Structures are given as structure tokens and as C-alpha cells.
Amino acid sequence: MKEDKFFELSTEKVNQNTLGIDTASTGEILRMMNEEDQKVASVVQEVIPQVEKVVDDVVKSISQGGRLIYIGAGTSGRLGVLDAVECPPTFSVSSDVVVGLIAGGEKAFVKAVEGAEDDEELGVSDLKEIGLTEADTVVGIAASGRTPYVIGGLRYARELGATTVALSCNTGSKISAEAKHAIEVDAGPEALTGSTRLKAGTAQKMVLNMISTAAMIKLGKAYGNLMVDVNISNYKLEQRAIGIIESITGADRETAASTLKKANNEVKPSIVMITLGCGYEEAKSRLEDANGYVRLAIEK
């Protein structure tokens, strides 16, 4: 009997290194999994040139009023949504700037929606619903690289003129053929055959971290390696913000805290105010002239 091509996918092959995992001790199971996980970072390293091009296009999109949109199903979709929802608190961007779409809608994040990922038209309708434009960048995420929901979405986005990216964990994937940029991270067969929430999921998370974080840094959301656009929505983030201001300006904690309050709980103008000895309005004006880049606002 001829094997279905589906089982020829790297993500679906049987891992020869973990054949005895069902009879292994707890420690042995964990060591097997850890040994497989260690392969992920090296294969992600291999696709950095492709990720670099994607980041530059994402920066261009957001700078021109467009968005970074993730679209995926199952684990891949959840990883996209997770990355998107972390951007507002981390970088103080609107929730409309980085968007995560998952087949089956928000309810699919916590419970599987049967058949949603097999519908190409659903990918199209979800993008239409959020008003996709040619200014946007759409990242289709699918470990197998053949999810119909993602294929349909990418095809529609490409036809509309949006920038398209395919992130998969198999080489020569179907979604790669639908995108301007193809990122194929092949980490090999899973420790538990076909369970792509393992190495494939880790690889996708690493790449998504790179895309959003690098893009936000390029957009002026960092000073050195500090998050100067953190959104202060709780006590922990307030304390982090005060620490950031202290670290950059050399001010004592009391000065940093009081300036933060004067600056409407915004870290960037707080830094400019202390460094240049100016008021909030002037700091905001300088930042606006510098397109939000703290270093440039101070140097000017």
C-alpha cells in the first residue's frame, strides 16, 4: 500500500530517536524531549535571512499605517494570537496594529472548532472582516504548511496587494507558494509523532518573537535593550517603568517616579524630561519630531 504524501511531511514522520518513549522512565522521556528541543534554535538560525526581510516589510507596513496580521489554525493560530495580544502591553501599540486571527474565531483559542481549518473561504472572510488592505503584512502560520484556512487567506491577501509571509515547518510547503516571503523551519520529526505543538510550535514561537520584537525595536520602541514604550497597566509594569527611567537617566527612584506621574505614565517623555530638564509638552514635541525615537529626541 502506497503511503499518503501527508506522512512524508517532516512534521509527520516517525522520529527514530524516540521509538521507545512509551516504555522509558520519566527521566528518559524528558531527556529525549530535551534532546529534540535543542535542535530547534539551530534551524531557526538558518532562516534569519528570510526573517530579516519580513521584519523590514513589517516596519514599512506599520510606518505607513498598515498592520501586522497573523493568521493560522490550531496551535499555529494560538501562537499568532498570543504574540499579537502581547504587543499592546509591551510596546504601547493599539490592539489594531498587531492582529491575530485563528480559524474558528476567538472561541477556538480555548477549544477546538472542528473543520474550521479546512475551509479556505473562512480565511478569506476573516481577513475581509477586519478590512485587509494592501498596506498590511499578513503572516500565514501552519506547521504542516498545507492548512486550507491559511492558504485561502494568503491567496486573498496576495491578490489584494498586501505583503504576504508563509511560516511553516516543512520545506517546499504549499503556503510558501502563496507568499512573497517563505520561512520554512524544519526541525525534523516530533518526539511524539505528529504532535506539532512540540518542536514545530517552539520554532514558530521563536520566529514570531523575532518578527514582532525586531519590528518594534526598529520602530523606536526600545532604548538600548530597555522597553521604553511599556504600557503601565499594573503595579509590576509601573515598577519596571520606574526602573527603566532610573537606568537610562541616572535619576534616583523618587525623581523617576514623580516624573513618570507628571508625564502621564509615559516612559519616553519621562526620559526626555529628566535628561534635558524640560517639561512634558516639550518632551512630547521633541519625540514627535523624532518619530518616537528617544535617542534622536535627546540628541536633537
Strand pairing class (222-223; 226-227): antiparallel
Q: Put residue 276 in one of left, alpha, beta given phi > 0 → left and psi -120 to 50 → alpha.
A: alpha
- Count of residues for the chain? 300
- Catalytic site includes residue 266: no
Residues in Cβ contact with 26 at an 8 Å cutoff, skipping those fewer than 6 apart:
none
Count other Cβ atoms within 10 Å, centred on residue 7: 11
Count other Cβ atoms within 10 Å, centred on residue 248: 21
Distance CA 299, CA 276 (A): 10
The one catalytic residue among 12, 36, 117, 266? 117
The one catalytic residue among 3, 8, 28, 86? 86
Question: Could you please report the per-residue DSSP string of 224-276?
Answer: TTEETT----SHHHHHHHHHHHHHHH---HHHHHHHHHHTTT-HHHHHHHHHH
Q: Could you report how far apart the first and last alpha carbons of the chain are, in Å?
A: 72
- Catalytic site includes residue 129: no
Which residues does the annotation mark as catalytic? 86, 117
